C-alpha cells in the first residue's frame, strides 16, 4: 500500500518527467498495467516500448533508450 501512495504522489507531481519503459513480453509486470499508469500520469511523460527481457532495455536497446531519455529531458 505504501508503494501505491508513493507512486500516486510522484505521478501527481506535474514537473517531474516520467519515462515508462516496458515490453509486451514481460512476464513480471503486465504490459496493460504499465499502459494504465502511463495513461493516467500527467505530462511530461513518454512511453518507451522495447523487445527483450525484463529490465534489459538499457542492454538490449541502449541507443534507442538513451535517445528517449534525451528527448524527454529536452522537451
What pLDDT sits at residue 47? 95
Q: 17-44 burial string, b = 16+ CB within 10 Å, else e? A: ebbbbbbeebeeeeeeebeebbeebeee
What pLDDT is recorded for position 7? 67
Q: Which of 6-10, 16-20, 65-69, 70-74 has the lowest mean pLDDT?
A: 6-10
Give the pLDDT confidence of 32-51 residue by residue, as tens digits: 999 999 998 888 899 999 98
Q: Where are the domains of the chain?
A: 2-73
Is residue 70 left, alpha or beta, with left meaning phi > 0 and alpha meaning psi from -120 to 50? alpha
Residue owning grid cell 512511453 = 47
**pTM for this predicted structure:** 0.74
For every residue of 2-14, which 3-state class applies, written as one string? HHHHHHHHHHCCC
What's residue 10's pLDDT?
65
Amino acid at each position: 500500500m505504501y508503494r501505491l501512495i508513493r507512486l500516486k504522489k510522484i505521478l501527481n507531481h506535474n514537473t517531474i518527467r516520467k519515462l515508462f519503459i516496458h515490453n509486451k513480453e514481460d512476464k513480471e509486470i503486465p504490459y496493460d498495467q504499465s499502459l494504465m499508469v502511463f495513461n493516467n500520469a500527467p505530462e511530461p511523460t513518454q512511453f518507451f516500448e522495447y523487445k527483450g527481457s525484463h529490465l534489459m532495455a538499457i542492454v538490449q536497446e541502449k541507443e534507442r533508450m538513451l535517445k528517449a531519455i534525451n528527448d524527454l529531458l529536452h522537451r
